[in-house]
């Protein structure tokens, strides 16, 4: 089992300094709103590629006290991997506050290499509006899942967006240099196909896990989702086309629609427009039309399905304020489901009573005013 055995924070958010040790049991963090629970979870989320569970700017993470801001923040963790331990260090560069440095066992590393060492998934209150919010939110949600299948997915997305932004600039400025357009469209085709391929694979794995669960007649505590992926490139992968066919399609489509995009001043089609659709299977209803409680249940169910689909990787789960939205029976069933995954997980809540169903099978910490103290669940 892969798990975080120790965590040290330096000038991160509300923590001037924090040292914690963990076992491989589930970890419960409870305390009043604003105590620092989510800050701690956010620190853990930086042990994976990307901008963390809040998608914060690097310069906004350093601890502030009055008008003073710390010179730099740091997150250090020891990861237990059976007989081998690794050390991950993530922090801000004091001289360049917008820059982040990542080290693995003391050596600089990349986000993709970091993703190969540790798999993290999270669910936060900000995602409660996933089904009713803009398509961009669902793309980010899916892309976070896709990083597990393809650690280089984040870099592919960045390179696609960089080429798209440059192409949009040419379009809005009425530049007619065909060679320049061709070079940028080639980059968009290469990286757009990689993005679409990773997304299609992720959705396929999710569907397989949901169907397997249904076929096994497992008594699921959360409603079954019917999911589909809207996007011309992604759909081609789902229909069996290979990578190079999809890459050629994107390249040709961009060239064909260049004059239309020129009139609009932006790129109108591509993987930046794709969307994830979710339906409540039993009600045959779009998730966006379901009640708030049903949407939360569908979201938790999707997260659990993704965790089960990655069971060989033993993903670490970060569940922020999830238990408070569930009744006592569903809360207890969720806890049993989480324990059955056999992976490390962090859960937060305002009251320890929310986690009574762990019955001594979790390590419990009380968070208050930037301090974290080990306690016991009743």
Digitized pLDDT (tens) for each residue of the chain, 378 residues in all: 889 999 999 999 999 999 999 999 999 999 999 999 999 999 999 998 888 999 999 999 999 988 899 999 999 999 998 778 999 999 998 888 888 999 999 999 987 788 888 889 999 999 999 999 999 999 999 998 998 878 889 899 999 999 999 999 999 999 989 999 999 999 999 999 999 999 999 999 999 999 887 766 555 678 899 999 999 999 999 999 999 999 999 999 999 999 999 999 999 999 999 999 999 999 999 999 999 889 998 999 999 999 888 877 788 999 999 988 788 888 998 999 999 999 999 999 999 999 999 988 999 999 998 899 999 876
Q: 163: closest CA among 177, 181, 175? A: 181
Q: Please tell me the predicted confidence (pLDDT) of residue 183.
A: 98
pLDDT in tens, 146-199: 988 788 898 999 999 999 999 999 999 999 899 999 999 999 999 999 999 999
> What kind of architecture, by CATH, is found in domain 1-119+314-378?
3-Layer(aba) Sandwich (3.40)
Task: Name residue 318's beta-bridge partners.
Answer: 122, 346
Q: Containing H/E element for 352?
A: none
Q: Kindly give the pairing relationship between strand 285-286 and strand 316-319.
A: unpaired
SS3 242: coil
Whether residue 1 contacts residue 24, with contact meaning beta carbons closer than 8 Å, is answered with yes
Q: Please tell me the predicted confidence (pLDDT) of residue 216.
A: 63
Q: Please tell me the predicted confidence (pLDDT) of residue 66.
A: 86
Whether residue 174 contacts residue 267, with contact meaning beta carbons closer than 8 Å, is answered with no
Task: Sort 134 into a burial class: Cβ within 10 Å, 0-12 / 13-18 / 19+.
Answer: exposed
Q: Please tell me the predicted confidence (pLDDT) of residue 50.
A: 83
Gap between the Cα atoms of 8 and 13, Å rounded: 13
Q: State the span(s) of the chain assigned CATH 3.40.50.300.
A: 1-119+314-378
DSSP secondary structure code for residue 62 in this structure: B
Alpha-helix residue ranges (DSSP H) falling in 15-152: 37-45, 111-117, 135-149
Q: Please tell me the predicted confidence (pLDDT) of residue 276.
A: 97
Q: What is the CATH number of domain 130-312?
A: 1.20.1050.90
In the chain the beta strands, taken as DSSP E runs, fall at 2-12, 15-21, 27-30, 64-65, 68-69, 74-81, 84-93, 96-104, 107-108, 120-123, 225-230, 275-280, 285-286, 316-319, 345-349, 363-368, 371-375
Q: State the span(s) of the chain assigned CATH 1.20.1050.90.
A: 130-312
Gap between the Cα atoms of 255 and 237, Å rounded: 21
Gap between the Cα atoms of 167 and 102, Å rounded: 31
The two structure tokens encoding residue 66 = 């009055």
Q: Please tell me the predicted confidence (pLDDT) of residue 378.
A: 65
Gap between the Cα atoms of 128 and 123, Å rounded: 9
Q: Please tell me the predicted confidence (pLDDT) of residue 309.
A: 85
Gap between the Cα atoms of 125 and 167, Å rounded: 35
């Amino acid at each position: 089992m892969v798990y975080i055995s120790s965590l040290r924070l330096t000038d991160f958010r509300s923590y001037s300094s924090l040292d914690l040790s963990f076992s491989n049991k589930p970890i419960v963090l409870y305390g009043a709103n604003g105590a620092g629970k989510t800050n701690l979870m956010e620190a853990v989320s930086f042990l994976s590629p990307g901008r963390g569970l809040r998608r914060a700017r690097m310069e906004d993470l350093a601890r502030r006290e009055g008008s003073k801001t710390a010179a730099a923040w740091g997150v250090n963790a020891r990861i237990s991997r059976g007989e081998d331990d690794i050390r991950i260090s993530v922090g801000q560069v004091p001289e360049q506050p917008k820059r982040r440095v990542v080290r693995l066992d003391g050596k600089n590393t990349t986000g993709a290499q970091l993703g190969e060492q540790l798999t993290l998934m999270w669910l936060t209150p900000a995602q409660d509006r996933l089904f009713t919010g803009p398509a961009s939110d669902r793309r980010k949600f899916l892309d976070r899942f896709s990083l597990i299948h393809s650690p280089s997915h984040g870099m592919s997305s960045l390179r696609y967006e960089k080429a798209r932004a440059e192409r949009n600039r040419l379009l809005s400025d009425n530049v007619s240099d065909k060679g320049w357009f061709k070079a940028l469209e080639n980059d968009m085709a290469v990286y757009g196909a990689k993005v679409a391929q990773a997304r299609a694979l992720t959705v396929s794995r999710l569907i397989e896990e949901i169907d397997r669960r249904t076929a096994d007649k497992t008594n699921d505590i959360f409603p079954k989702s019917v999911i589909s992926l809207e996007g011309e490139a992604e759909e081609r992968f789902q229909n069996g086309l290979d990578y190079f066919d999809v890459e050629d399609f994107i390249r040709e489509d961009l060239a064909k629609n260049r004059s239309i995009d020129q009139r609009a001043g932006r790129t109108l089609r591509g993987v930046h427009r794709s969307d994830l659709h979710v339906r409540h299977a039993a009600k045959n209803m779009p998730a966006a039309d379901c009640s708030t409680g049903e949407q939360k249940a569908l979201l938790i169910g999707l997260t659990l399905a993704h965790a089960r689909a990655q069971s060989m990787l033993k993903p670490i789960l970060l569940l922020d304020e999830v238990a408070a939205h569930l009744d006592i029976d569903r809360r207890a069933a969720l806890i049993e489901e989480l324990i059955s995954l056999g992976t490390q997980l962090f859960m937060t809540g305002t009251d320890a009573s929310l986690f009574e169903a762990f019955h001594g099978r979790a390590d419990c910490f009380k968070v208050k005013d930037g301090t974290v103290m080990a306690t016991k669940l009743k």
